[in-house]
Amino acid sequence: MSRPLDTEAIDLSAHALMCERDDRVLFKDLSLQITNGDLVQLTGPNGAGKTTLLRLLAGLNQDFEGEVRWLGQPMSECYSTYAHQRLYMGHLPAVKKALTPIENLRWLCANDASDSDDTLWQALEAVSLYGYEETPCLQLSAGQQRRVALARLCVSRAPLWILDEPFTALDAAGVAWLEAQLQAQVARRGAVIITSHHALQGIPGLRQLALGDAA
């Protein structure tokens, strides 16, 4: 699905990040630059700080030393603008089990500027939930619930995606679909930062950042 992105330039830069948790230094003096066409995968063992770094880059975590800038401006000054350019999906899918996929998607995409429901219906079809759009999520499997959240990727026009373990609970078809989405996003000159235990199959431009062996 090709569609224009909301903006041209992506420039997320981090300088000398230091983060500690429970008296343990997770990473020190870490610098990172994300621009158009980047696909960065954070790797490392459990507890290495991948999610912490991801949330930090997404602007959800203020507990660190160092600087994060968006388009040259400190994140704290332009968070609202940044938030509209950035799609964040965390560990938890934010799907309400008592509601149907279409109702959940309406809430998830509330800020993604879709004028009509049609885009949402198409998105649900794209994630193979055709026919299930109005079944309460309670009756869907974990993989299907995860796909409701992922349908957002089809609707959002944010140039930067920050995804935390998005492959969780997906079957082989789901994994292939998501990989295709990531590839398409990169091809559109968007950018993706991702943590995943899943090995990404040969997507051009893939950079890996390994945590857990920092000083």
Partner 1 sequence: MSLVVATIRRDLLLAARNPGEWANPLMFFLMVATLFPLAVDPDPKFLSRIAGGVIWVAALLATLLSLDALFRADVEDGSLEQWLASGESLYALALGKALVHWCISGLPLTLMSPLLGVMLHLPNDALLPLLLSLAVGTPVLSLLGTVGAALTASLRSGGLLLTLLILPLYVPVLIFAASAVYQAGIGMTYHGQVAMLGAMLALAMALTPFAAAAALKLNLSR
Residues that bind partner 1 (CB under 8 A): 21, 52, 58-61, 63, 79-84, 86, 88, 90-96, 98-99, 103, 106-108, 110-111
Q: Tell me, what DSSP letter sits at residue 36? A: T
Q: Tell me whether residue 58 or residue 123 sits nearer to partner 1 (CB atom).
A: 58
> What is the chain's alpha carbon radius of gyration, rounded to the nearest angstrom?
17
Q: Which two tokens stand for residue 74?
A: 């400190």
The CB-of-3 to partner 1 minimum distance in angstroms stands at 20
Which is nearest to 162 in space by CA: 46, 16, 61, 45? 61
Q: Which residues contact 21 (CB under 8 A, 6 or more apart)?
A: 49, 52
Helix (H) or strand (E) holding 55: helix 50-58
Q: Tell me whether residue 30 or residue 87 sits nearer to partner 1 (CB atom).
A: 87
The CB-of-80 to partner 1 minimum distance in angstroms stands at 4
The CB-of-149 to partner 1 minimum distance in angstroms stands at 9
| Sign of CA pseudo-dihedral 185, 191, 150, 122 | negative
> Strands 86-89 and 206-210, how do they pair?
unpaired
Name the one residue in this structure whose structure tokens are 């602007």: 59
Q: Tell me whether residue 52 or residue 183 sits nearer to partner 1 (CB atom).
A: 52
The CB-of-8 to partner 1 minimum distance in angstroms stands at 20
Q: Tell me whether residue 28 or residue 96 sits nearer to partner 1 (CB atom).
A: 96
Q: Tell me whether residue 28 or residue 84 sits nearer to partner 1 (CB atom).
A: 84
The CB-of-201 to partner 1 minimum distance in angstroms stands at 28
